[in-house]
Chains A and B, each alone.
Chain A
């Protein structure tokens, strides 16, 4: 039974209308949503229009024609129903991939009786919130309809009802607003000390509300202009966490997130000292000079910046936040110049976000450069209220706030302050579906899943970071976070005093992560010195006396996940002649290929002397190791060539004599022991 009452064309049109934000959801949409299949869903039907189809043709005749058509195309087809435009829907014999169905359709198209044939694809309705202003939130729409969008609809599908992580909004404070469920607002803190800046009659307190940051002329310094209250923190909080699907206002990126308001800015801005205290508190860093925070945030949004380098004091605060397990996201800056001059976005470990206009270009005001991690919608406005900005919640008042709901309103504004909270909201959703993600993994996945800048964009990875924030792909990656695999290679049996190679070449990271570090350590056995212990191939000289050694390989990916493996090396004691058995000398090693072949035995004194030189002087430095490695690659054929011919071996021995003499002299010289 065909459960879809509408025809496909109507469904396509309807879904498109939904996508552009027209309101109202007829029952067909609910059914489609419930049955929505992923993009790679199997295809079971074709839409076919045949030429000269008679309107008076009976059903029997049609079925007969369909069977004949199928036989000519080599596939069994059955008629499901006729549809508008003179076409009909035919059922395939089985579910097929899109490519298979397309092949069948192409075969049918070769039939002279067929005007067109194409797979009857699933049409996915975008998960469209019922918030009235959603139509104007181009910054959240599906990437198939908006170039620079953060691509939220499918991400919301993926996140489902999982509770998102706590997001701290380190900003000017937060107003009550009907579009943010008060139950999701956690007890925050006001860190603004300076009374003029605070504008609330006191210093630090437990009220993170926004009393307004309006200023008169010259209040922020000689020549500064008067400004109305910005309600900046409220706008930023709305981008992150305005209630979604509540039939009012807008949708937040993470509409169920718990918000932790941390007030650090007020009139004319704020002091760096208050920001550092506020950030540490937000992440739950234990500190004797901070009040307790019972609800530490896993994500900090700092839509703020100061024109200063990332000094050790600022970096220390960032490090504390990350060590507490929180992701720190900051605005790249609105200077239209290098973002490296704006703290804290210029600190290591901070995800600095540049702003995109609606076309995927760097917004004209956005800071840029190597410290930018990625870009997100920040809007680019050319007049007040321009809908090419970012719409979010605000207040109607110009000085002190008007109480909610009477004072509630929505405003379009622009800035990297607006781009950062998009990333913060997506990070919150990522943690909702995978709470085990570390700050490093979140950063890695956000960057690895960013969409490429569109053709013709003025953004490059050198100016605007890894790409454009893509919530859907980021959530797909978050749901499939896999640790790397560590492969320390197969166990080995070697002879003492030989060079042993440990290889991690079989290790791999799970896409989109890549391997960031290899670490080889010795677990047991006679202690040896591992050379190149942080590379894929480490080496050591097997102990002359033999023994059982175990080594552990740790492979860490750039997302913070790690895996380990061990390898055992059995070392047989080297064969030591009486002449060479003095302490500290090398033993036998058949891999001194040419000399062994020339002298006929690895235990000849001259051969042992050459090996000692190799072990003591060449294998202790990178250049020497490279020479030895090259020798091992090149010398075996030469050794094989001379081995059967006594005359050649003798000539080679003569040729080696000066080298052996030099090596003996070098080994005997006083400086050689250093």
Chain B
């Protein structure tokens, strides 16, 4: 059972990674200000910067599978970031982003979550 969960999560992760890292196009600068949907591409995939508590192995497929199951959204691991954070990918509708962030922030192993928002030249 545990293997099947990890495998399913890994497959969902592969799909999410595909969306996040190969076809993601940042949204139009003309979008309405303040709408967090700017971090969500047309396919609904988004990246999250997550800081876990020390000792958490965020890249562990088993851990990620359990976390995905608990929050009800498949997460894929992308890569570690500077400052001890990790980049995760999720496929959610834009309107569910805030809810997903809240669910992650409620997890005891999560210290902080920041949507990997679009940054633009000024």
Of A171, A317, A332, the residue contacting B83 (CB under 8 A) is A317
Q: Which residue of A has the minimal Cβ distance to B85?
A: A313
Interface membership of B7, Cβ < 8 A: no
Q: Which residues does chain A contribute within 8 Å of B111, judged by CB atoms?
A: 312
Of A196, A270, A287, the residue contacting B119 (CB under 8 A) is A270
Looking at the assembled complex, report how far the CB atom of B93 sits from the nearest CB atom of chain A, in whole angstroms.
Answer: 15
Task: Flag if A307 contacts B121 (CB, 8 Å).
Answer: no
Looking at the assembled complex, report how far the CB atom of A600 sits from the nearest CB atom of chain B, in whole angstroms.
Answer: 66
Interface membership of B98, Cβ < 8 A: no
Proximity bits, A345-359, B CB within 8 Å = 1, else 0: 000000000000000
Interface membership of A275, Cβ < 8 A: yes
Task: Flag if A313 contacts B82 (CB, 8 Å).
Answer: no
Interface membership of A477, Cβ < 8 A: no
Q: Tell me the complex Cα distance, A417–B116, Å.
A: 21
Looking at the assembled complex, report how far the CB atom of B73 sits from the nearest CB atom of chain A, in whole angstroms.
Answer: 19
Q: Which residues does chain A contribute within 8 Å of B122, judged by CB atoms?
A: 303-305, 331-334, 342, 415-417, 420
Q: Tell me the complex Cα distance, A311–B82, Å.
A: 15
Segment of B8-16, B29-37, B63-71 in the binding face: B29-37
Given contacts A290-B82, A341-B33, contact A271 B23 (CB under 8 A): no
* CB proximity to A under 8 Å, residues B73-96: 79-83, 85, 87
Looking at the assembled complex, report how far the CB atom of A172 sits from the nearest CB atom of chain B, in whole angstroms.
Answer: 7
Looking at the assembled complex, report how far the CB atom of B15 sits from the nearest CB atom of chain A, in whole angstroms.
Answer: 17
Of A232, A269, A270, A285, the residue contacting B29 (CB under 8 A) is A269
Looking at the assembled complex, report how far the CB atom of A191 sits from the nearest CB atom of chain B, in whole angstroms.
Answer: 10
Given contacts A223-B30, A317-B82, A416-B122, contact A272 B25 (CB under 8 A): no
Number of A-B contacts (CB under 8 A): 155
Interface membership of A281, Cβ < 8 A: yes
Task: Flag if A196 contacts B112 (CB, 8 Å).
Answer: no
Size category of the binding interface on chain A: 35 or more
Looking at the assembled complex, report how far the CB atom of A115 sits from the nearest CB atom of chain B, in whole angstroms.
Answer: 57
Task: Flag if B28 contacts A223 (CB, 8 Å).
Answer: yes
Task: Flag if A219 contacts B25 (CB, 8 Å).
Answer: yes
Interface membership of A5, Cβ < 8 A: no
Q: Tell me the complex Cα distance, A265–B41, Å.
A: 17
Looking at the assembled complex, report how far the CB atom of A287 sits from the nearest CB atom of chain B, in whole angstroms.
Answer: 4
Q: Tell me the complex Cα distance, A415–B120, Å.
A: 12
Task: Flag if A304 contacts B25 (CB, 8 Å).
Answer: no
Looking at the assembled complex, report how far the CB atom of B48 sits from the nearest CB atom of chain A, in whole angstroms.
Answer: 9
Task: Flag if A289 contacts B115 (CB, 8 Å).
Answer: no
Q: Which residues does chain B contribute within 8 Å of A271, judged by CB atoms?
A: 26, 47, 116-119
Proximity bits, A283-302, B CB within 8 Å = 1, else 0: 00101111000000000000
Interface residues of B, CB < 8 Å — how many? Answer: 38
Q: Which residues does chain A contribute within 8 Å of B112, judged by CB atoms?
A: 311-313
Q: Which residues does chain A contribute within 8 Å of B80, judged by CB atoms?
A: 288-289
Q: Which residues does chain B contribute within 8 Å of A270, judged by CB atoms?
A: 26, 118-120
Of B31, B42, B79, B121, the residue contacting A265 (CB under 8 A) is B121
Given contacts A273-B87, A276-B83, A313-B112, contact A194 B24 (CB under 8 A): yes
Task: Flag if A273 contacts B26 (CB, 8 Å).
Answer: no
Given contacts A196-B25, A224-B30, A333-B122, contact A306 B117 (CB under 8 A): yes
Interface membership of B21, Cβ < 8 A: yes
Given contacts A230-B121, A334-B122, contact A272 B28 (CB under 8 A): no
Task: Flag if B42 contacts A277 (CB, 8 Å).
Answer: no
Q: Which residues does chain B contribute within 8 Å of A312, judged by CB atoms?
A: 51, 111-112, 114
* CB proximity to B under 8 Å, residues A189-233: 193-197, 219-225, 230, 232
Looking at the assembled complex, report how far the CB atom of B82 sits from the nearest CB atom of chain A, in whole angstroms.
Answer: 4
Looking at the assembled complex, report how far the CB atom of A584 sits from the nearest CB atom of chain B, in whole angstroms.
Answer: 45
Given contacts A269-B119, A304-B122, contact A311 B24 (CB under 8 A): no
Q: Tell me the complex Cα distance, A421–B29, Å.
A: 22
* CB proximity to A under 8 Å, residues B37-75: 38, 41-42, 47, 49, 51
Of A194, A290, A304, A341, the residue contacting B120 (CB under 8 A) is A304
Given contacts A265-B121, A306-B119, A313-B112, contact A289 B28 (CB under 8 A): no
Given contacts A194-B24, A268-B27, A313-B83, contact A221 B42 (CB under 8 A): yes
Task: Flag if A289 contacts B81 (CB, 8 Å).
Answer: yes
Q: Which residues does chain A contribute within 8 Å of B87, judged by CB atoms?
A: 273
Interface membership of A264, Cβ < 8 A: yes
Task: Flag if B82 contacts A285 (CB, 8 Å).
Answer: yes
Q: Tell me the complex Cα distance, A304–B122, Å.
A: 5
Q: Can you list 5 residue pairs at the A/B interface with Cβ under 8 Å?
A: A193-B79, A194-B24, A269-B120, A320-B83, A415-B121
8 shortest interchain CB distances as A-B pairs: A224-B28, A268-B26, A221-B28, A331-B122, A221-B27, A269-B120, A417-B122, A313-B114
